[in-house]
Amino acid sequence: MRALSARLPWARGAPWAPRASALAALALGILLALVPAVAPRDITLLNLGFFTFLYVAQGLAWNVLGGYAGYVSFGYAAFFGLGAYTTALLWLAGWPPLATYPVAGIVAAAFSLIVGVPTLRLVGPYFSIATIGVGEAMRVLMLNLDRITGGASGLNLPTAVPSKTWFYTTSLLFAAVAFAVAAWVRGSRVGLGLMALRMDLEAAESLGVRTALFKNVAHSLGAFLVGACGGLYATFLQYVHPDTVFSFTESISLVLIALIGGLGTVWGPVLGAVVFYAVQDYLQTSYPTFHLLVYGVLLILILLFEPKGLAGLAERAWRRMRGAPARLAPAGPSGAEPAAPGRGGAG
């Protein structure tokens, strides 16, 4: 059990230094922000951007707890759904959409504490199972609260919506905020604590890491961002239904984005979300859930051969390009984690 950290060595991030990474992100962000000015009428492109950024933001948010701390949650749809309904109800009450997003985030974060304080005491896999229970319970409950949620017929929202450019830009902004939060947490005391507790919970506690607090901080930060994304999504669709915003598919999308992109890295979820949405969008018309099959196969391959995901692959390609010898995949004892006592993974 001690050699565990060797197998999923939760990459140390892309090969760039944090500052270079931040600069690259800033440049990319500015470039993307110029798109509506260049192609203001290309609705397809703007929609593509909107959904991709929304997934980027959520993948990054999920990764704070799931990647840094290794607490894989299958229940983030609860936050997404709560955010979507918060925005929906406030918008129907006359609020401007933009003002509802922080509230949506706060509602989701408050719920994450209610769920997280007891369940985050469970170790890894049991936490994962509990989150499936919470997520599904929320979906069924919301489906039955027809007075508030519209039940099985959903809620229709105001039709006076902002422009596609507005959605594109707001979504990009959400992704940028999520990126900044994820990058900042990673380098902060909390991030170091999360990564320490992922490697060895007891050792981290014995060194004074406040594990319970840090896990809950990570959980509620993720929930806040995902909740706000849920709100934005509700505004975009002008319709909310418990089965879509609370769906298990929504939950697992975030897990897949982070895992395929590269668990625990800052750029991983960005990469993962782009691929995820591209595949989904490409296959949507002919076969609505085929991207999940593609992603399931990818996930198996990644778990077996490249635990650092696409970000790990990119890093390897980068090393090869610079002529440095590429490290062999599945990390043995000499893997990415500097101090993994005991024997390595599947040798």
* Interface contacts to another protein, rule CB under 8 A: 3-8, 70, 72, 74, 118-119, 121-122, 124-126, 128-130, 132-134, 136-137, 140-141, 143-144, 248, 252, 255, 259, 287, 289-290, 292-293, 295-297, 299-300, 303-304, 307, 345-346
Min. distance of Cβ 345 from another protein in angstroms? 5
Query: How far does CA 84 lie from the centroid of its chain?
Result: 16
CB of 193 to another protein, least distance (A): 19
Nearer to another protein, 4 or 45 (CB): 4
Q: Locate 45 and state its tokens.
A: 């492109």
Cβ closest to another protein, residue 44 vs residue 144: 144
Task: Kindly tell me which of 57 and 142 has the beta carbon lying closer to another protein.
Answer: 142
Supply 7's token pair: 């197998």
Minimum gap (Å) between residue 196 Cβ and another protein: 15
Count of beta carbons in the 10 Å neighbourhood of residue 38:
8
Closest by CA to 75, choosing from 223, 207, 236, is: 223
Alpha-carbon span 28 to 8, nearest angstrom:
29
For CA atoms 312, 50, 155, 103, the dihedral sign is positive
Of 312 and 345, which has the nearer Cβ to another protein?
Answer: 345
Measured from the CB atom, the residue of 26 and 141 that comes closer to another protein is 141
CA distance 315 to 329: 12
Q: How many residues are present in the chain? A: 347
Burial of 151 (0-12, 13-18, 19+ CB in 10 A): middle
CA 314 to CA 311: how far, in whole Å? 5
User: Contact, 269 vs 258, CB < 8 A?
Assistant: yes
Nearer to another protein, 28 or 137 (CB): 137
State the nearest-atom distance from the C-beta of 182 to another protein, in Å.
20
User: What is the three-class DSSP state of 156?
Assistant: strand
Minimum separation from the CB atom of position 276 to another protein (A): 13
**272-to-223, 238, 343 alpha-carbon distances in Å:** 19, 27, 31
CB of 331 to another protein, least distance (A): 10
Which one, 32 or 132, has the nearer CB to another protein? Answer: 132
Cβ distance to another protein smaller for residue 57 or 72:
72
- 336 within 8 A of 9, measured Cβ to Cβ: yes
Q: Which residues are 240's β-sheet partners?
A: 155
Question: In the complex, what is the shortest distance from the CB of residue 47 to another protein, in angstroms, rounded to a whole number?
Answer: 25
* Closest to another protein by CB, 74 or 80: 74
Our CA dihedral for 127, 130, 135, 138, rounded to 10 degrees, sits at -130
Residues sharing a CB contact under 8 Å with residue 116, sequence separation 6 or more, in sequence order: 215, 216, 219, 220
Smallest separation (angstroms) from another protein to the CB of 347? 8
**How far apart are CB 115 and another protein at their closest, in Å?**
8
